[in-house]
Amino acid sequence: MALLGKLVVCGVGLIGGSVALALKRAGAVERVVGVGRSPAALEHALALGVVDEIAQDWAGALQNADMVLLAAPVGQTDAIMEAMAPHLGPNTLITDAGSTKRDVIEAVYRRLDAHLARVVPAHPIAGAEKSGVDAAFPDLYVGRRVVLTPLSENDPAAVERVRAMWQACGATVVDMAPQEHDRVFAAVSHLPHLLAFGLVHDLAGRANAELLFSHAASGFRDFTRIAGSHPEMWRDICMANRQALLAELDQYLAELAYLRALLLGGEADRLEKLFEEARCARNAWAERNAPPPITAE
């Protein structure tokens, strides 16, 4: 018997669609039902075989549902939870795939407070350069990490069942406290995106922008790659994780103030020491963390 009888995927894009395909391939789900805002997109997902059915409304979708995966843009979380709540049964587990957790959890407390035992927030760390159901593929989560941020109210069996679902997709699952999650990802993901967007925006607005870009080379290419990311998705992440991101930005501004002082004071030795410490740390990390073998096309 499969891990899940009926899985409902809300938001059948790259993330949600890849979970569906992974679980189907693993024989871990019997039936996948898609819900979302766009009937045409859902029809397309159905035609691709990513979902087995489309639901017309939450009442139909949630009937006898074992698990719901919320994989829509994080800005829609509150509205989705509000719409689901009246139709949610006492045996349905809920998980999500949002890049931020504290805001999702606030929505959970606000909209799903009768179901806290069964809502287990998650964040799959999976590249999302492409988007949409056409980009979905079953290997997206293989060798990747998923972070769970269980609520104190969670039923331990619910947590383990959600963990098993993500593991069935091929992922390694770790647990973190929500606040810690948001600070960690603010530091290593959200802030770098903000910084890269900021540099490109700064230079693009210059009178000599064309000259500047004409002399940009490989260092600029690498540093700004993430400035090619989706503006809407990153707007949502930055807004959702505003508090943690501001804290991280302020830490970084203190680092830049120190660097500024070193430059101003001509402190070559201190500057070299800083660069050396950074290089050591970066190289050690890179050695321990070869990129995952499977990447989205």
DSSP-assigned beta bridge partners for residue 7: 32, 67
CB of 239 to a copy of itself, least distance (A): 5
DSSP-assigned beta bridge partners for residue 69: 9, 95
Cα(245)–Cα(251) distance, integer angstroms: 10
154: which DSSP letter?
-
Closer to a copy of itself by CB, 92 or 241: give it.
241
Closer to a copy of itself by CB, 160 or 272: give it.
272
CB of 79 to a copy of itself, least distance (A): 15
Closer to a copy of itself by CB, 15 or 67: give it.
15
- Tokens in use for 25? 């391939």
CB of 209 to a copy of itself, least distance (A): 8
Residue with tokens 């669609």: 17
CB of 118 to a copy of itself, least distance (A): 26
Q: What is the strand order of the sheet 122-125 is part of? A: 122-125, 145-148, 172-175
| Exposed / middle / buried, residue 232 (Cβ in 10 Å: 0-12, 13-18, 19+) | exposed
CB of 131 to a copy of itself, least distance (A): 13
* The one-letter amino acid at 76: Q
Closer to a copy of itself by CB, 59 or 216: give it.
216
Closer to a copy of itself by CB, 1 or 211: give it.
211
Closer to a copy of itself by CB, 32 or 147: give it.
147
CB of 122 to a copy of itself, least distance (A): 14
DSSP-assigned beta bridge partners for residue 67: 7, 93
- Is 109 in a helix, a strand, or coil? helix
